[in-house]
């Protein structure tokens, strides 16, 4: 049986908790410094990652996440301290997006051996053709 791959790179997986909303896509994992293989993750797994990250961020920062939302719209009018805090939250979010993906089984392209790499690349190319 051929392995299932998912190549909808723009599909958003959105989760909201309190004042905070997180949206991730498979394409974001492909464009990371160390690319991850989001093509192996079902929509359900991608949604789980989004929910897990969202909940963890809210547990860590609570209603302070409104600052991050504000920062992403415009940092105009924000103090240096608020900007530093929002930057730290943004950095934490990126780390959690990667961590929870790993926890759910997402792998890095660089960890594949040559045969596995070629097989997976071929499946993805066939799916996107």
DSSP per residue over 11-51, as a string? --EEEEETTEEEEE-HHHHHTSSS-B-GGGS-HHHHHHHHH
Give the pLDDT score at 75.
Answer: 79
Closest CA to 51 of 97, 98, 6, 91: 97
What is the rounded CA–CA span in Å between residue 113 and residue 54?
Answer: 33
- pTM to 2 decimal places: 0.91
Q: What is the mean pLDDT of residues 90-101?
A: 97
List, for residues 16-38, the tens digit of each pLDDT value.
988 899 999 999 999 999 999 99
- Encode burial over 30-52: b for 16+ CB neighbours within 10 A, e otherwise: eeeeeebbbbbbeeebbebbbbb
**Mean of pLDDT values over 100-126:** 96
Phi, psi of 2 (to 5 degrees): -75, 140
Q: 6-16: per-residue pLDDT in tens? A: 999 999 999 99
Judged against a pLDDT cut of 80, whether residue 1 lies above it is answered with no
């Amino acid at each position: 049986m051929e392995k299932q791959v998912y190549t909808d790179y723009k599909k958003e997986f959105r989760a909201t908790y309190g004042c905070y909303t997180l949206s991730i896509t498979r394409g974001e994992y492909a464009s990371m410094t160390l690319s991850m293989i989001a093509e192996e993750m079902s929509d359900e797994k991608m949604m789980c990652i989004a929910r897990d990250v969202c909940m963890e961020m809210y547990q860590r920062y609570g209603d302070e996440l409104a600052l991050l939302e504000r920062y992403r719209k415009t940092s105009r009018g924000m103090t240096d301290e608020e900007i530093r805090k929002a930057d730290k939250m943004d950095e934490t979010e990126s780390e959690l997006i990667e961590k929870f993906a790993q926890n759910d089984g997402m792998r890095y392209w660089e960890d594949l051996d040559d045969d596995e790499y070629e097989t997976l690349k071929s499946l993805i190319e066939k799916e996107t053709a």
